[in-house]
């Protein structure tokens, strides 16, 4: 699956992807739980994403409500992964599940449910 990518692309995409999905996880958990919840997943999401949110605070609009800010910042990571990375690698078209992180995950799930024979 990822053999066609240089190692720096895979590492960069995995790092950006993990940050993006952690921010999305914080947003999703924030729908059901307060930010100061004692639930261990929420504490993990808040602790791991607060430094990222702090870095992006100068470009975060003040009119956004607090629970929406993680998804706003995750959008930046998605844009870098979807537009900047292919441009840097001189790709002209990005297809469905062309992100290395999500491609590997989708392949693993498909293999686990028996979609692929081997």
Domain for residue 2, yes or no? no
Contact yes or no for 27/70 (Cβ under 8 A): yes
Domain for residue 42, yes or no? yes
**What 3-state DSSP class applies to 11?**
helix
Domain for residue 48, yes or no? yes
Domain for residue 67, yes or no? yes
Report pTM. Answer: 0.79
**Domain housing 35:** 7-112
Domain for residue 118, yes or no? no
CA-CA distance, 76 to 60, in Å (whole number)?
Answer: 11
Domain for residue 35, yes or no? yes
Domain for residue 52, yes or no? yes
Each residue's pLDDT tens digit, 11-64? 888 899 999 999 999 999 999 999 999 999 999 999 999 999 999 999 999 999
If one counts the domains in the chain, the total is: 1
Domain for residue 22, yes or no? yes
Each residue's pLDDT tens digit, 88-112? 776 655 554 467 777 778 778 888 8
CA-CA distance, 35 to 18, in Å (whole number)?
Answer: 20
Q: How many CB atoms lie within 10 A of CB 54?
A: 10
């Amino acid at each position: 699956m990822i053999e066609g990518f240089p190692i720096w692309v895979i590492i960069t995409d995995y790092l950006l992807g993990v940050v993006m999905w952690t921010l999305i996880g914080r947003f999703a958990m924030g729908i059901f739980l307060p930010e100061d919840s004692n639930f261990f997943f929420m504490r993990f999401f808040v602790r791991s994403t607060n430094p990222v949110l702090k870095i992006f605070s100068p470009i975060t609009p003040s009119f956004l409500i607090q629970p929406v800010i993680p998804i706003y910042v995750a959008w930046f990571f998605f844009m870098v992964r979807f537009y900047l990375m292919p441009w840097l690698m001189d790709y002209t078209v990005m297809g469905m599940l062309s992100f290395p992180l999500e491609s590997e995950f989708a392949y693993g799930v498909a293999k686990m449910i028996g979609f692929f024979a081997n």
